[in-house]
């Protein structure tokens, strides 16, 4: 019996029900195969999508990790810079107090000497000898010079177009030079008048350190420091009051180092 006979009965009549069943079976098998193929495609697509999503997530995670590392490094560096600036401000304040205190210790003693007529010797040489022999006076002058030097060391070369650090160096040097020249280059009156310069220095430091404090705390950008200072009337008055003297100070420094370079070139030529 061949497979075609199933579509006919024993009288040879074609059985449409058998054909319908066969077609239905065939279509069922086809649908199953199509379903299997679709499922495989779907699973493959899902795997590929899952792989892509995983790769994207890993890429995003790595990018986020790199960004976080960069932020951590940036924050770390920023914290170090901020901490260093705050420590510098605190040290400058400490050295400023030491310098100003040593000045007033000296001035108070000089006032006492003046009231006693210590500086009234008519002869210049005699007056100088008296000053040099007064160990208390010389010690106070030496202390002022020491404190002034320590304060200056905290103000390196200016890194921008402004000259605030050098201006502070000029103010300290001006006061120390006047005091150190007591009896030789400057009389007692000139030395006592240095209190005005001390007051100017104190105000300048107060304004300048406030700006530095704002920069350390992130309230001011480096590029905004000078404009912040120039908005302060006292700052501008101080700069204007010492303008000519400060210019002479800069010229003197430039001259000194120019001459040193010339001397060095001459030695190399020999």
Q: pLDDT-based confidence at 110, cuts 50/70/90?
A: very high
Average pLDDT over residues 11-37: 65
* 228 inside domain: yes
Total number of domains constituting the chain: 1
Q: In sequence order, what are the beta bridge partners of 8?
A: 14
* 6 inside domain: no
Q: pLDDT-based confidence at 66, cuts 50/70/90?
A: low
Task: State the burial class of residue 149 (Cβ atoms within 10 Å of its Cβ: 0-12, 13-18, 19+).
Answer: middle
* 109 inside domain: yes
pLDDT per position as a tens digit, 196-215: 999 999 999 999 999 999 99
Q: What is the CA angle 97-102-104, rounded to 5?
A: 95
What is 156-219 written as a DSSP string?
Answer: ---SSS--HHHHHHHHHHHHHHHHHTBTTTB-HHHHHTHHHHHHHHHHHHHHHHHHHHHHHTTS
What's the mean per-residue pLDDT of the chain? 83
The answer, as to whether pTM is greater than 0.85, is no
Dihedral sign for Cα 188, 104, 157, 209, please.
Answer: negative
pLDDT the model gives residue 121: 79
Look at 61-65, 78-82, 159-163 and tell me which has the smallest mean pLDDT. Answer: 61-65
Number of residues that this document lists for the chain? 270
245 or 120, which is more confident? 245
pLDDT the model gives residue 109: 95
Contact assessment for residue 172 and residue 246, using Cβ atoms and an 8 Å cutoff = no
Q: Cα–Cα distance between 55 and 210 in angstroms, integer?
A: 51
pLDDT the model gives residue 74: 47
pLDDT per position as a tens digit, 143-162: 999 999 999 999 987 666 67
Average pLDDT over residues 88-97: 94
* 14 inside domain: no
Q: Is 121 left (phi over 0), alpha (psi -120 to 50) or beta?
A: beta
Contact assessment for residue 136 and residue 142, using Cβ atoms and an 8 Å cutoff = no
* 81 inside domain: no
Q: Cα–Cα distance between 250 and 170 in angstroms, integer?
A: 9
Q: pLDDT exceeding 70 applies to what percent of the chain?
A: 77
Report which listed range, 33-47, 61-75, 231-245, is most confident: 231-245
* 58 inside domain: no
pLDDT per position as a tens digit, 214-253: 998 889 998 899 999 999 999 999 999 999 999 999 999 8
* 171 inside domain: yes
80 or 107, which is more confident? 107
User: Residue 232: enclosing H or E segment and its boundaries?
Assistant: none
* 49 inside domain: no
248, 159, 151: which is closest to 204 by C-alpha?
Answer: 151
Name the residue range of residue 218's domain. 88-269
Here the tokens at position 130 are 């008296």
Average pLDDT over residues 135-150: 97
List the beta strands (DSSP E) in the chain: none
């Amino acid at each position: 019996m061949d497979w075609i006979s199933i579509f006919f009965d024993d009288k040879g009549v074609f059985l449409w029900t058998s054909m319908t069943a066969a077609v239905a079976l065939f279509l069922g098998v086809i649908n199953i195969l199509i379903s299997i193929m679709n499922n495989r495609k779907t699973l493959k697509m899902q795997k590929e999508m899952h792989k892509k999503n995983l790769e994207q997530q890993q890429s995003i995670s790595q990018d986020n990790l790199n960004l976080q590392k960069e932020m951590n490094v940036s924050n770390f560096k920023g914290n170090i810079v901020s901490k260093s600036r705050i420590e510098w401000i605190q040290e400058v304040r400490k050295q400023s107090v030491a310098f100003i205190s040593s000045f007033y210790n000296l001035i108070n003693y000089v006032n006492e000497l003046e009231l006693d007529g210590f500086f009234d010797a008519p002869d210049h040489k005699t007056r100088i000898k008296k000053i040099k022999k007064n160990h208390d006076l010389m010690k106070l002058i030496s202390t002022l010079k020491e404190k002034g030097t320590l304060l200056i060391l905290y103000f390196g070369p200016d890194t921008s177009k402004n000259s605030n650090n050098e201006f502070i160096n000029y103010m300290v040097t001006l006061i120390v030079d006047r005091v150190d020249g007591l009896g030789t280059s400057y009389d007692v009156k000139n030395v006592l008048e240095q209190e005005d310069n001390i007051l100017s220095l104190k105000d300048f430091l107060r304004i300048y350190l406030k700006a530095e404090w704002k920069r350390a705390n992130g309230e001011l950008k480096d590029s905004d420091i000078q404009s912040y200072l120039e908005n302060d009337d006292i700052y501008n008055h101080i700069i204007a009051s010492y303008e000519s003297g400060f210019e002479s100070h800069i010229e003197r420094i430039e001259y000194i180092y120019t001459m040193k370079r010339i001397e060095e070139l001459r030695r190399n030529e020999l």
